Structures are given as C-alpha cells and as structure tokens.
Amino acid sequence: MADEVILLNFCPSVFGMRIRIALAEKGIEYEYREEDLKNKSPLLLKMNPVHKKIPVLIHNGKPVCESLIAVEYIDEVWKEKAPILPSDPYQRAQARFWADYVDKKVYAAARNVWATKGEEQEAAKKEFIEILKVLEGELGDKPYFGGETFGLTDISLIGYYCWFYAYETFGNFSIESECPKLIAWAKRCMEKESVSKSLADPHTVYDFVLGVKKRLGLE
C-alpha cells in the first residue's frame, strides 16, 4: 500500500520547517497543506485537538504532533535512507539534549527580540545572543552538530536562520558579528537542497513578523 503523508503547516513556522527538512532528507513524497491560523481547518482541529497547532504530520490517517517527535517518527519509519539520529545511544542522547535545548530556549528568547522595544529589547538581544553562543560552543569546529553528518540538532535549529533577517532588522544588530561560526554552519546547511527548499524566504518572514507586530500593537 502506498504511504499517504500529509503535512499541515504554516509557511513561516520554524517547527514546520523541521518536518519539511526531514521529509526531504528521506525523499518522502507528501501533500503539503498551508493552514490559515485565523481559520483553522477541521482536519487540523481533529488531528491536533490538544494543542490545535501546526505542524501536524499525518501518516496514513494517523497524526503525529510536535515537530521533534515527528522528526524522530520519520527517522524510525523510513530508516533505510539518510539517518537523522546516530545509532550510538550516547550520541543519540546528545542530539536529543541539544534539540531539547533549542526548543526550551531559542523560541522565547527570539520572540522577545522582535516583540519588545528599548531597554527590554536590549536585554532580549543579549539573552538571545548568549543562547546562540552556547550553541556555537557546542558546535565547535564540527561541520554539523552531530559531527560529519547533518542530523537532529541541526534540523531543530536551522529553521530559525530564515528568521535572522527579521530579528536583525527589528533588533538593529548583526547576529553574524556575534556568532560567525554559527552563521557559517547555517550557510553550510543551506547548501543542502532539503534545507534550502524547506526554509521560508527571509523577506516573507519579515513581512509576517511586521504583520504580527502591527496586529498586536507592538510597533
């Protein structure tokens, strides 16, 4: 039986990008459905009744919610090609730890950068850069977080790269000047087709954030 794979997503979502990258890495054909978050589809509400959020991976009618869980699911189901997690349990634990770190730290810190002004924004920028520096430290001189091959931690973080233009513009700072190795890593990831085709255009993201700021009165 042919697999039926559907991804419910919203283009600028860094979380959706993770799943898109994983599907592309494995060469999996799927149906992409863009959700209007102000008017969520009945399918989305049915497939993710608890959080009512994107992204949702639907495989043969069964939903997998939460982007990192979906990425691991993809790795386990389509295990013959392009492994996303290493096989060694300790290396796997490291990959999961750092993906979890990205989840716990980056989103909230990044949001504060574009959603605040003045002193609050300066503090937010500082915190955001500190978090990126911790990640840069973990990367070290390796080509990817897992070493020689692109993997879970890379997938968990790279989506934010297309948001950097928006952060830098709204925050009036340069991420590259603070974290050059991280930007070099990001550019290296972007050379992979699975990544470059899955990330949103930075100007699209910028316009989206501008729209949110206007709607929330945060200009």
Partner 1 sequence: MAEEVKLFRTWSSPFPLRIVWALKLKGIEYETILEDLQNKSSLLLQYNPVHKKVPVLLHNGKPILESLVILEYIEETWKQHPLLPEDPFEKATARFWARFNDEELLPSIWNASTKQGKEQEEAIVQVEENLKYVEEELKGNVFFGGETIGYLDLAFGWLANLVSVLEEVTGLSLTASGKFPLLSAWMQNFSDAPVIKECWPPRDKLIIRYQAMIEKYTAVAAPK
Least gap, CB of 59 to partner 1 (angstroms): 7
- Is residue 133 at the binding interface for partner 1, with CB under 8 A as the rule? no
Nearest-angstrom CA–CA distance, 32 and 70: 15
**Distance (Å, whole) CA 4 – CA 55:** 16
> d(Cα 131, Cα 111) in Å, to the nearest integer?
13
Distance between CA atoms of residues 81 and 78, nearest Å: 7
Please say whether the beta carbons of 128 and 112 come within 8 A: yes
Provide the 3-class DSSP secondary structure of residue 59: strand
Site for partner 1, residues 92 to 121, rule: CB under 8 A: 92-93, 96-97, 100-101
Q: Does 89 bind partner 1 (CB under 8 A)?
A: yes
Contact stretch for partner 1 (CB under 8 A) within 32-40, 59-67, 146-154, 188-196: 59-67
By CB under 8 A, is residue 1 in contact with partner 1?
A: no
- Type of residue numbered 37: L
Q: Map tokens 């993997």 to a residue.
A: 151
Nearest approach in angstroms of CB 101 to partner 1 is: 7
- Please report whether residue 45 would count as binding partner 1 according to CB under 8 A: no
Cβ closer to partner 1: 133 or 192? 133
Contact residues for partner 1, defined by CB under 8 A? 50, 59, 62, 64-66, 69-70, 72-73, 76-77, 89-90, 92-93, 96-97, 100-101, 134
